[in-house]
Amino acid sequence: MAKESFDKEIQFLRLLALTGGNYDRQQFAGRLGISVHTFDKTIRRLKEVNGDADFADLFRYNYADTAEPVLLFLYRAKSMKESESRRLPIILTALKQEPMTAAALLDVCDEQLIDSAAAPPDEKTIRSDLRYLEEIGVIRREPSGRPYRYRLNNDLTDCLTREELIELYEFVDIMANTQIPSVQGYLLRDNLKKAIKATVSESPDDSWQEEWLEPFSYRYHYDARILDEAHLYTLLRLIREHRFISFQYYSPSRKRSYTAQNTNPLFSRDNEPRRQHMLPLRVVYDHQYGRWYLLGTTPGGRIVKYRMDGIVDITAEQEIDARLCEQYAAKLDEHTRYSWLVDTGRTVTVRARFFKPAPPQNDFIQERVRMQGQWGQIVEEDAHSFIYEIKVNGYTEIRPWLRSFGSSCEVLEPAALRESLIEEWKELMNDYESF
Amino acid sequence: MNLFEKIFSYQLASRLEETATYTLTSQERAWLKMMLEQPAAAHALDLQTLHKIGDCLLEEEIPQLQQALTEKAGSAAGQTYSPLLRPLRLIMRRRQSMEIRRLNKHGQLILSQYGVPWKLEFSMARREWYLLWYNMRTRAAMTTRLVHIQSITEIPLPPDQYEPICQRMQDICSVERQEAVIQLLPMYNMELTRILHAFSCFDKRVEFVEQEQTYYIYLNFAGNESEYVLNRLRFLGKRVRVIEGDHLKRRMHDTATRALARYGQNADRHDID
């Protein structure tokens, strides 16, 4: 399969999802770094695949009420030749009925496409379609000899009873919504939905309810996370192949401290960022924000980190020796062992006192610290408070989490972190002084 | 794995829909095989179903992600699946009521109550399942953590009662939406995407006022979500400021005052609780 670039669409959809679609065309185009004309073209294309729905409306839904991933349509946006989009359904529908040979399928296509403007396919075309469908596992060859007969490979759903299908569907729904990666899960979920609907038609006395297809709701979901999965498999493959890569990097914020210093994009005259060159080694998903990072080394062996949402136009470059690659990976793992997220700064010990809520409330503070505190430990505890201790690479990344506890958390060490939090709380108090 | 296979395209899918045909690719099956390795699978599916599915997935290869892909800052002990999900779903599908024995939020045992399960909700923030249900005696909407449920027994419910109860739950749960306006301080404008990521789980719109070079985030959220909004506001600290939403402003002021008191600063104005 040719590599299809969805870079522009991904960037646009991310902006749309993050802002709620409230910018005007000019603002969108400006932020995407494309002309208004190109922007309009992108919109037209996306609307075509999304059945003309208003984009802004897409994101005006109640997040808790639906598990439909709105951004999934990016993965459905692949365009096809008209003739192909007519021919493949005929082949697949025929194979759903019974196993068939390429010659028989050719006849079926001839017959059904007789009124169509396009010329009926030749045998070579049918064979290449079958090869593609077999390769992606949608159909399979029957074990008998030549001429080969093919059938639709829906064993997974065919072997299950309706009750079992529903249980599988609900399992897939949960896993797609709570685990990474999830795009394939969402695609499978859609297909299982169709499979369940198909079983209903066979048993008309069943009181099947449409609403059962939304069995659970999920709160505080990061929708945009599934956009970065577009790059995930490419990157994981290149990591496995020990290959250097290059890409354009649009730093999401110029002042970030996560990206190593001289990797900041230098904008040349044509506004294209300088291409980054690196050996990818690890992908990190940040649960707090729902963001992805790519970590690796430069050709010189220096550790570099990039936000995956800033990566555009990835190209595979030279391969390096597997053993050397393992050494780099081991070094990176060593340096990120104490990273709250991806910081590889100096290791410090953070000590914080957490205050327990007054009884009869259960100790939800401790519960949260134990759940979210990663490898940190509770080292002391009394009736009113406990002390949590963690070794981390720099305290920048853990700071927001500590602050989110408000007055239930008092940082004891390091002194600099303690002082900076006091300063920040003072500023915040001034901001809200009128209350 | 290529997520942009043409088999997933809308053009093709909409035509297949007409003949009620669907397709399953190797990559979907491989993903499923990977998920079945998780302990949750053993609770979610019958042993027999698991075997049947396993037989269909023999040829698929589990994508090798473990080594190269890590999740950070997630919740270690969080549950993904609860054994109570299945029995509860079954009662919901049959549109029946239940007898529930549970602990309250202080951990005390509440003896049998009658109610109708309405929705199962997962909080990504806490990695925890909740049951939203209607208490028949008090006629109130309840939210109970599944870990607090001791037992559930199905109780028949007259068919004409189910719909009105669901409608009532819908009404109770859909009132009380709040809007807050949050300003991003211009000196942090370059952190815009980071801040939007932190709020990306809420209904919202963003406005940029050119003259002031300032972003305003209009958040729309349910009344019972204000604690989580506060959590996000504290998480972001001084980068953002609530400019509309008195409750949030008051709470932020409170938090700041009390936090400073913890550090022995300005402890004169409020008692610490």
Weakest mean pLDDT among A49-58, A99-108, B77-86, B159-168: A49-58
Average pLDDT, chain B: 88
Tell whether B90 is within 8 A of chain A (Cβ). no
Report the pLDDT averaged over residues A202-223: 72
pLDDT in tens, A337-357: 999 999 999 999 999 999 999
Distance CA(A212)–CA(B233), nearest Å, equals 35
- The residue of chain A with its CA nearest to that of B94 is A207
User: What ranges in A283-392 are assigned the alpha helix state H?
Assistant: 322-336, 364-372
Torsions phi, psi for A160 (to 5 deg) = -100, 145
Cβ–Cβ contacts within 10 Å for residue A68, how many? 13
pLDDT above 80: residue A26: no
Place of tokens 């395209």: B9
* CA neighbours closer than 13 Å in the CB half-sphere of residue A47: 12
Which candidate in B50, B56, B71, B72 is best for mutational testing of the A interface (most A CBs within 10 A)? B72
Chain A positions touching B32 (Cβ under 8 A) are: 156, 172, 185, 188
Tokens of B170: 């819908």
Peptide bond into A360 cis (omega under 30): yes
Q: What's residue A418's pLDDT?
A: 96
Interface of B with A in 38-57 (CB under 8 A): 38, 40-41, 44-46, 49, 52-53, 55-57
pLDDT of residue A258: 27
Nearest partner of B168 among B223, B100, B115, B112, judged by Cα: B115
Is B4 close to A6, i.e. CB distance below 8 A?
yes
Rounded to the nearest angstrom, the minimum Cα separation between B136 and chain A is 22
CA distance B269 to B271: 7
* A147 CA: distance to closest CA in chain B (Å): 24
Q: How many Cα neighbours within 13 Å face the side chain of A264?
A: 8
Best mutation site among A184, A209, A212 for testing chain B: the one with the most B CBs within 10 Å? A184
Q: What are the extents of the domains in chain A?
A: 3-62, 82-152, 157-213, 223-336, 347-433
Record: fold of A347-433 = Alpha-Beta Plaits (3.30.70)
Count residue pairs from A and B with Cβ separation < 8 A.
395
Looking at residue B138, the DSSP 8-state letter turns out to be T
Smallest CA–CA separation between B215 and chain A, in Å? 10
Residue B60 · residue B26 · CB < 8 Å? yes
Query: What is the average per-residue pLDDT within A368-394?
Result: 94
Taking the Cβ of residue B269 and every Cβ of chain A, the question of whether any pair is shorter than 8 Å is answered with: no
Token duo for residue A214: 């939304």
- Of the two residues A247 and B200, the one the predictor is more confident about is A247
Q: Which residue of B has its CA nearest to A332?
A: B68
* Inter-chain CB proximity A137 and B29 less than 8 Å: yes
A-chain residues near B267 (CB < 8 A): none
Please, is A334 exposed, middle or buried when counting C-beta atoms within 10 Å of its C-beta (0-12, 13-18, 19+)?
exposed
Q: How confident is the model at residue A265 (pLDDT cuts 50, 70, 90)?
A: very low
- Residue B199, amino acid: F
| Alpha-carbon gap: B32 to the closest alpha carbon of chain A (Å) | 7
Structural domains for chain B = 84-157 (2.30.30.100), 177-261 (3.30.70.120)
Cα–Cα distance for residue pair A193/A166, rounded to 1 Å: 9
Mean pLDDT (chain A, rounded): 83
Cα dihedral: A57, A60, A66, A69 (round 10): 60
**pLDDT over 80 (residue A157):** yes
| pLDDT tens digits along B240-263 | 999 999 999 999 999 999 999 999
Longest dimension (CA), chain B: 73
C-alpha span between A342 and A288 (Å, rounded): 13
Report d(CA A267, CA A274) in Å as an integer.
Answer: 7
Rounded average pLDDT over B198-211: 85
What pLDDT, on the 0 to 100 scale, is given for residue A113? 80
In this model, does residue A185 exceed pLDDT 70?
Answer: yes
Pick the CATH number of A82-152 from 2.40.50.40, 1.10.10.10, 3.30.10.20, 1.10.150.120: 1.10.10.10
Among A75, A137, A195, select the one facing B4 at the smallest CB separation.
A75
Residues of A whose CB is below 8 A from B273:
358
Residue B123, chain A, CB below 8 Å: the answer is yes
- How far apart are the CA of B137 and the nearest CA of chain A, in angstroms? 25
Nearest Cβ partner for A138 among B17, B24, B53: B24
Place A268 in a pLDDT band, splitting at 50, 70 and 90. very low
∠ CA(A414), CA(B196), CA(A231), 5° rounding? 95
According to the model, what pLDDT value does residue A111 have?
84
Share of chain A above pLDDT 70, in %: 84
* Of B107 and A333, more confident: A333
Rg of chain B on CA atoms, in Å:
24
pLDDT in the model for residue A202: 58
- pTM for the full predicted model: 0.89
Beta strands in chain B (DSSP E): 69-72, 97-103, 109-123, 128-135, 140-145, 149-155, 177-184, 203-209, 214-222, 240-244
pLDDT tens digits along A79-88: 788 888 889 9
The answer to whether residue B126 neighbours chain A at the CB level (below 8 Å) is yes
List the structure tokens of B252. 């932020």
Closest CA of chain B from A107, distance in Å: 19
Portion 150-209 of B in contact with A at CB < 8 A: 190-194, 196-198, 200-208
Flag whether pLDDT at A171 surpasses 70: yes
Other CB atoms within a 10 A radius of the CB of residue A9 amount to: 19
**Model pLDDT, residue A303:** 94
Mutation target to probe the A interface, by most A beta carbons within 10 A, among B12, B17, B19, B24 is: B24
What is the per-residue pLDDT for B231? Answer: 93
Nearest to B72 among A20, A284, A409 (CB): A284
Residue B215 to residue B213: CA distance in whole angstroms: 7
pLDDT at A66: 54
Token output for B57: 């997935």
Three-state SS for A50? coil
Cα separation values, B268 from A409, A417, A429, B110, B254, Å:
19, 24, 14, 41, 13
**Stretch A380-408: mean pLDDT:** 95
Residue A256: pLDDT band (50, 70, 90) is very low
